[in-house]
Amino acid sequence: MNRHFRVWRGDSSGGDLEDFDVEVNDGEVVLDIIHRLQATQAPDLACRWNCKAGKCGSCSMEINGMPRLGCMTRMSTFTEQETITVTPLRTFPVIRDLVTDVSFNYEKARETPAFAPPAGVAPGQYRMQQVDVERSQEFRKCIECYLCQNTCHVVRDHEENKESFSGPRFFIRAAELDMHPLDDRTDRKQHAQQSQGLGFCNITKCCTEVCPEHIKITDNAIIPMKERVVDRRYDPLVRLGRKIFRRDQLEQPENMAPSTSEGVSGVGAGMTYTSARLPEGPPVGPDGRLEIAELAATTQGGPSPFGEDMEFPLPIERVSYHHPEPETPPRSPS
Ligand code: SF4
Ligand code: SF4
Ligand code: FES
């Protein structure tokens, strides 16, 4: 049966909604319909996607005003008479049609200090309690779809806040590292408050509502981080220190270089801590976008915090985990 779609077409100079009547079959999702439109009526319709399985985070769009993954939005959720309006993410600049420039998020990612390994423990020898693994595991489910970033009113309605606000995706990263028992940085809380703009968040929970991975962004990351900041700020000893020392002797926001080795008490044996990335992130062009070379780079943005000579995946002799010997020899195939 045919259904009515309105799809935003245009680029950074402007655009408008275009009407389409398109065939819809049982079991299809919105991304299927976009593909059918490309195949039958609008071959130049731009749309970003990769996995069609809700795992790559590429197909973020706004469907009837709601930030959603196109590949995870079933057509059966709409009534037969309903017009389905598909628009690009509103918080980020449009490149063309449904494709937006999300480099804001990569810049914020670069500003987040990397995991700081503990002293004297080599990769492969890290040990954590299961409860700690589970706590950060929730945050590791993030597929970087940026629906939460797109939804957060702090940047959605206030472009001027983008410079000083990292957004919910990076608050969960901050929380993950602050809750990590093997992370040696002691300044995650100050970084979240002073550099990431945690204080801008007024806990509306809109980010949590749209997260396709059902990460409890507000309850499990933002609120605990706010509590940790408050704990530190109103700790009686810290308050006493504030009274004794002059303001200029205390923490200064401008001293919060987010990605230096400050705050790291040690590094692994024989290794140098090398995650000293530039606080201002990678170079961007005059249009505020990443350089093409940066986008095409085959390596990660900053050097490995484990040292320059670290090889991944770890060679087996450097891994201290051993599989138990099988009790009986494996059967040979007959
Ligand atoms: S809870 Fe905070 S981070 Fe999430 S959408 Fe609301 S203001 Fe933004
Ligand atoms: S936290 Fe959820 S909504 Fe935000 S980028 Fe990750 S998966 Fe997407
Ligand atoms: S195409 Fe990968 S999440 Fe939708």
Taking CA atoms only, the protein residue closest to ligand 1 atom 8 is 152
- In the predicted structure, residue 91 carries a pLDDT above the cut 50: yes
Parallel, antiparallel, or unpaired: how do β-strands 66-69 and 94-96 relate? Answer: unpaired
* Beta strand ranges found along 97-138 (DSSP E): 99-100
Residue to substitute in 35, 68, 69, 213 for testing ligand 3 pocket (most ligand atoms within 8 angstroms of CB) = 69
- In the predicted structure, residue 297 carries a pLDDT above the cut 70: no
pLDDT of residue 126: 85
Parallel, antiparallel, or unpaired: how do β-strands 84-87 and 60-63 relate? Answer: antiparallel
Contact 217, 278 (CB under 8 A): no
Taking CA atoms only, the protein residue closest to ligand 3 atom 1 is 52
State in Å: Cα 224 to ligand 1 middle. Answer: 14
- In the predicted structure, residue 243 carries a pLDDT above the cut 80: no
Neighbours of 11 (CB within 10 A): 13
Q: Domain 103-282: what homologous superfamily?
A: Alpha-helical ferredoxin (1.10.1060.10)
pLDDT of residue 21: 97
State in Å: Cα 118 to ligand 1 middle. Answer: 32
pLDDT of residue 239: 65
Domain spans in the chain, listed from the N-terminal domain onward: 2-99, 103-282
Taking CA atoms only, the protein residue closest to ligand 1 atom 5 is 152
Instruction: Please report which confidence band the pLDDT of residue 39 belongs to, taking 50, 70 and 90 as the band edges.
Output: very high
- In the predicted structure, residue 256 carries a pLDDT above the cut 60: no
Q: Closest ligand to 148 CA?
A: 2
Q: Report the distance separating Cα 294 and Cα 36, nearest Å.
A: 33
Mean of the per-residue pLDDT values for the chain? 82
**Tokens at residue 71, please?**
């590949």
Residue scoring higher pLDDT (124 or 10): 10
Instruction: Please report which confidence band the pLDDT of residue 274 belongs to, taking 50, 70 and 90 as the band edges.
Output: very low
Taking CA atoms only, the protein residue closest to ligand 1 atom 6 is 204
CATH code, residues 2-99: 3.10.20.30
Q: What percent of the chain has pLDDT over 90?
A: 58
